[in-house]
Amino acid sequence: MAEVYIGLKWLHIVAVCIAFGSNITHVFWIIAANRDAVHRANILRLVKKIDDRLAVPTWALATVCGVAMWLWQWPVNSSWIIVSLIVTTILTVMGITFGPFMYKWIALAKDPDPENQRLKDLSRRLTVWWISITVATFFVLYLMVFKPALW
């Protein structure tokens, strides 16, 4: 049985690495898209594709493996796990709500007019949103690695 737990742990870590690495690159791609009106829509489409096909599935896998390990070996009142799950739930809701805005952003980005105020406002808001998601993910990674007793 220990081998199964180690396998789950390994899968959990690999999934987090892939998902987090994907999300980190999104920040740089989004900043690049904000600066390149000509290629903005294509860059944003690529970000959305990477998110849908790589980041989201691997975050889901990491969460399933993490919950399985928690229920298998950790006390149910482990504060760092509970906080991680709460933050992960918030991140999931943020990610789900980000999707429709991303499609709107891509549609607006097809207009290369650098003075498009709706595009500027949405770009600013979604860039801050994405950076917030990344910072919150760093916090969850901190909890996973250091496992602090929060209460």
DSSP secondary structure of the chain: -HHHHHHHHHHHHHHHHHHHHHHHHHHHHHHHHHH-TTTHHHHHHHHHHHIIIIIHHHHHHHHHHHHHHHHHHS-TT-HHHHHHHHHHHHHHHHHHHHHHHHHHHHHHHT---TT-HHHHHHHHHHHHHHHHHHHHHHHHHHHHHH-----
Reported confidence tier of residue 13, pLDDT bands at 50, 70, 90 = very high
Least confident of 2-16, 31-45, 67-81, 91-105: 91-105
Sequence-distant (6+) residues with CB within 8 A of 22 are 50, 51, 54, 55, 58
State the average pLDDT for the chain: 88
How much of the chain exceeds pLDDT 70, in percent? Answer: 99
Better-scored residue on pLDDT, 76 or 142:
142
What confidence category does residue 114 fall into, taking pLDDT thresholds of 50, 70 and 90?
low
Model pTM above 0.95: no
Does 83 score more than 90 pLDDT? yes
Q: In the prediction, which pLDDT does 49 show?
A: 93
